[in-house]
Chain A
Amino acid sequence: MTEPSAKQEGLSVLDRPNSYIGKTVPRPNLDRLMQGRGTYVSDMELPHMAHVVFMRSPHAHARILDIDATAVKQMPGIVAVVTGKELADVITPWVGVLSHLKGLKSAPQHALAIDRVCWQGEAVAAVVATRRALAEDAAEQVQISYEELDAVTNMRTALDPDTPVIHASLGDNLAFERIHHAGEVDEAFAESDEIVEAEFIFGRHTGVTLEPRAVVADWNAAEARLTIYQGTQAPHMVQNIAALHLGLEERQVRVVCKDVGGSFGIKVHIYADEMATYALSKLLKRPIKFVADRVESFNTDIHARDHGCKGKIGVKRDGAITAFEIDDLTGIGPYSMYPRTSAIEANQVVNLIGGPYVTKNYRARARVVFQNKNVMCQYRAVGHPIACSVTEGLVDFAAMRIGMDPVEIRRRNLIADDAYPCGSPTGLKFERLSHHASLAKLMEMMDYDRLRAEQTELRKRSIHRGIGIASFIEVTNPSAAFYGVGGAKISSQDGVAVRLDAQGSVICQTSITEQGQGSESLTAQIIGSVLGVSMDRIRVILGDTDNTPYGGGTWASRGAGIGGEAALQAAKILRKNILDVAAAILQSTAAELDIVGNAVVNAGDRAPRIELKELSRIVYFRPDTLPPGIQPELMATRHFVPRQYPFAFTNGVQASWLEVDTETGFIKLLKHWVVEDCGTIINPQLVDEQIRGGVVQGLGAALFEKCIYDERGQLTNANMADYLVPMPGEMPDIDVGHVVSPTSESELGAKGAGEAGTAGAAAAVSNAVNDALKPFGAVITEIPITPQIVLTALGKI
């Protein structure tokens, strides 16, 4: 039972002596990664392990006529060739819907396709061999014949009556629709001095984790237990789903997550080929390893964005924004992804449009349609880049129309810093945001006026530079409102167990996971600060369903805010327990004692009384010397979940400074600034690096990244050479500043920071490009902004 986070001890972890909170300290265990001595799933070998290679559909939509593996059976190293029908005896299909997304529908999806394939890359058969290369050799000899069917590829015509319906049982290709209306939109537009409309196009792109998705599944038939080694962000979710569909109890499934080579939301989903790997291990009673190759990654890792969003804004001549309206359309592939569904991104777009601004007049429609392309789902900053680009693009166009500076129109419309708590037209609850303070800080960091003057000067020399501003809000610390209320077994609470070992060091088990963000570090920093133990004496265990409390994991910018608070509360209990024992040993009272520098000290003069090492020795080995009736508890567990606010919103503002070459269409990013407010900052360096990494993923979307499909549903650039990601030479230095508005929902006060960078980067770049092109009257509303798009906008091609 968690007690209310009352500050009964009269001291906060934030102001304790030797606190690590707010300090830049290096992450523990970086040597392992820097020396190449980590353990990624792709590094793992188990005894008697076999490798699976999946045969994948070359067609976007086809009927499977025949799978002939007779030639393969005699090939060296072959263990099995398994079809969808055969695997269906081991693992049941699933449907990716959530009950709170009313009307969302999808069709049953199997681990391996049965009868029909619905996108290029869908797995059709599994070839298992003793080595991966041998499985690949064999896969070349499996003959699969298909009858190609009409493919639905254009999301704009997906709902037309003459477009084939992908899943006949669903009746049409509409997966989800949401309509929202708040305030007096028509009246507001009627009263506006100017109305600007634009259609924004967002390219499909993907996460490109440097380590592809990888799984080793190990069914131990004697124990009737499955161990899944997987680079996942949510081990307990994987445990639940694997057990559910394999007909097991959760206690029969252990999920272990060691080092993970990048995640970004790509590794928070349940993929059919991963489910097939679990099932193959159970079927073949031996460890099976699946590591996606890069082509498979592009064809099967979830894609994201791919929205076309019509937007409309009304504005008065004094700059007051009167209303926003959008009509958003997105194509998600043939299935809603499991278990988080593929309607969340569009739902977020509806939720977040206009979020930083005061106007209450808002009308939105979002439609999510099926198509025969790879599945789309939640990737870093889900929906935010779209909502931010549409909102901030419209705000800039409105400013341009009335001849107002883009900073000034924001000053006049951003929600005032003293207006909180308040809500949005879509019912979002804002506890405390800092749009104006953030904007003011940004202006100072970038020296806005000087930059404008420089821009004007350079224009005289035909150098076209642009400044783009983008304010944003970000959903962090999600409560059960995200998934739990819709029926998904995805925990929104996290747990931390912390104990003193027999040498006075601390072992901590947490349900949040590490993919490089610094979960391990922030947990150790919090525990060290509360306990008065140095970080080198703290070991943090994560990513193992057998050895951590139950919890959600690391996604949706929740690790620090939720897992961090659980760590704080657990450490407080352990601290109290330690002081109680110390008081008994020292014939003192807990109130007279403190823990500083790995030793119990006098609370007053900080004179050392007993080292934690000695206290542990007594408790574990000489409890006979303790006073009667004392039963020390040197382990404590606490869980935390936000209850008051469904989400802890953060806010911030970004700016881009870039140069457009109007002859070649190339864009040179010169500088990028971010000011964001994630509440209490546990480790400033880690927060800044989350922001920078997030920004660069947003910059990739802005300028380079796009999954290019042809009209037959073939992905034409499914490799790292043709799919462009940001490289060091193209990226600018990124300055990061902070405003700090802690959430009062937790004692820690931390909100999330993992997605803020991605949320606003593309919007800032788009606005900067349009600012640079202003003298030409050219406007661009499509990303990625390739040279071709620039030159087309300039009328040069």
Chain B
Amino acid sequence: MTAPIPLSLRVNGERVDAHALPRTNLADFLREHLQLTGTHVGCEHGVCGACTVRVNDEIVRACLMLAVQADGASVQTIEGLSDSGEIADLQEAFRARNALQCGYCTPGMLMAAQDLLRQQPAPSRNEIRGHLSGNYCRCTGYHAIIDAIEATAHLRRRSAR
């Protein structure tokens, strides 16, 4: 087994200096080293989207990225986006529309939704569905999630006027 490798990164704006084994993926690093358990692990092979986090402004599957690859990067997790208030409106829309049941997919879903809304302020329902095509939800049937994101886009456009 290879020895742990030092890495230095920013996680939710906070500097983190740590050692991680080369094989440790970013999801496990966040969950087990930093106890940021909001990043969920559903499939461990890049399909379900539950581990979606933002690395240097791009959303990635934390289970498909090694922790050491995040050396020098800026990582945002659901905890960070929640505390900064960046997605407070989106979370409120999810609450109002009951766009989550068990909540396991929700952090990843919110990450992906915010990513879409930053790129496309007026997405159609089909575009929303398309952008979430890498995020599984087994509880809601998606309809409520699409509604909540559509409503957030609408509110953001109105307040931007």
CB within 8 Å of B: which residues of A?
Answer: 26-27, 30-40, 42-43, 45, 76, 133, 137, 207-212, 259-264, 293-294, 515-518, 685-686, 689, 692-697, 719-721, 725-729, 731, 733-734, 757
Contact = CB atoms under 8 A, between A and B. Distances in A.
B94 to A, nearest CB: 6
A30 B95 contact: yes
B42 A294 contact: yes
B39 interface: yes
A725 B136 contact: yes
Nearest to A761: B141
Interface string B132-147: 1101111111111110
A38 B143 contact: no
7 contacts: A34-B100, A37-B38, A133-B23, A262-B139, A719-B47, A728-B132, A728-B145
A515 B41 CA distance: 17
B133 A728 contact: yes
B44 interface: yes
B13 to A, nearest CB: 16
Contact of B102 (A45, A516, A696, A725): A516
Most A CB within 10 A of own CB, among B40, B44, B97, B104: B104
B67 to A, nearest CB: 13
Contact of B37 (A30, A36, A720, A731): A36
Given A31-B95, A210-B105, A726-B142, 10 more contacts: A26-B98, A33-B103, A36-B38, A36-B40, A40-B104, A260-B102, A689-B141, A728-B146, A729-B126, A731-B141
Contacts of A36: 36-40, 77-79, 82, 107
A35 B104 contact: no
Nearest to A207: B138
B66 interface: no
- Most A C-beta atoms less than 10 A away, residue of B23, B36, B44, B50: B44
Contacts of A727: 132-133, 136
B50 to A, nearest CB: 6
B147 to A, nearest CB: 9
B101 to A, nearest CB: 3
Nearest to B80: A36
Contacts of B125: 733
Contacts of A294: 42-45
B114 interface: no
Given A34-B94, A35-B79, A516-B103, A693 B141 contact: yes
Contacts of B50: 210
Contacts of A40: 37, 40, 104
B42 A210 contact: yes
B152 interface: no
Interface string B36-65: 111111111101101000000000000000
A33 B82 CA distance: 11
Contacts of B44: 293-294
A206 to B, nearest CB: 11
Contacts of B37: 36, 39-40, 43
B38 A35 contact: yes
A32 B95 CA distance: 11
A36 B94 CA distance: 14
Contact of B104 (A261, A685, A697, A720): A261
A396 to B, nearest CB: 24
B129 interface: yes
A39 B103 CA distance: 11
Nearest to A231: B102
A729 B100 CA distance: 18
Interface of B: 1, 21, 23-24, 31, 35-45, 47-48, 50, 77-79, 82, 91, 94-98, 100-107, 110, 125-126, 128-130, 132-133, 135-146
A446 to B, nearest CB: 16
B32 to A, nearest CB: 8
Contact of B103 (A42, A207, A259, A263): A259
Most buried by B among A36, A37, A133, A207: A36
Given A30-B94, A35-B91, A36-B107, A719 B100 contact: no
Contacts of A734: 141, 143
Contacts of B135: 728
Contacts of A693: 101, 138-141
B129 A689 contact: no
A212 B21 CA distance: 25
Contacts of A721: 45, 47
B129 A728 contact: yes
Q: Which 10 A-B pairs have the closest CB atoms?
A: A36-B38, A33-B103, A516-B101, A261-B104, A696-B141, A516-B102, A36-B78, A43-B37, A35-B82, A692-B141
Given A211-B42, A211-B104, A720 B82 contact: no
B158 to A, nearest CB: 22
A696 B95 contact: no
A207 B138 CA distance: 8
A719 B106 contact: no
A375 B78 CA distance: 37
Given A210-B102, A686-B98, A31 B138 contact: no
Contact of A42 (B41, B95, B101): B41
A729 B133 CA distance: 6
Contacts of A261: 40, 42, 102-104
Contacts of A209: 102, 104, 138
A300 B110 CA distance: 30
B139 A516 contact: yes
B79 A37 contact: yes
Contacts of A516: 100-103, 139
A261 B130 CA distance: 24
A43 B31 contact: yes
Contacts of A685: 97-98
A208 B137 CA distance: 10
Nearest to A43: B37
A719 B94 CA distance: 29
Contact of A26 (B35, B48, B79, B96): B96
A388 to B, nearest CB: 18
Contacts of B95: 26-27, 30-31, 34
A727 B136 CA distance: 6
A96 to B, nearest CB: 26
A43 B30 CA distance: 11
A207 to B, nearest CB: 7
B134 to A, nearest CB: 8
Given A43-B37, A689-B144, A731-B141, A210 B104 contact: yes
A140 to B, nearest CB: 12
A210 B144 contact: no
Contacts of B48: 210, 720
Contacts of A33: 100, 102-103, 106
Contacts of B91: 31, 34-35
A217 to B, nearest CB: 19
Contacts of B42: 210-212, 261, 294, 720
A441 to B, nearest CB: 19
A33 B78 CA distance: 10
B101 A515 contact: yes
The winner among B24, B40, B126 for most chain A CB atoms within 10 A is B40
Contacts of B137: 210, 728
A260 B135 CA distance: 18
Contacts of B96: 26
Contact of A731 (B43, B45, B102, B142): B142
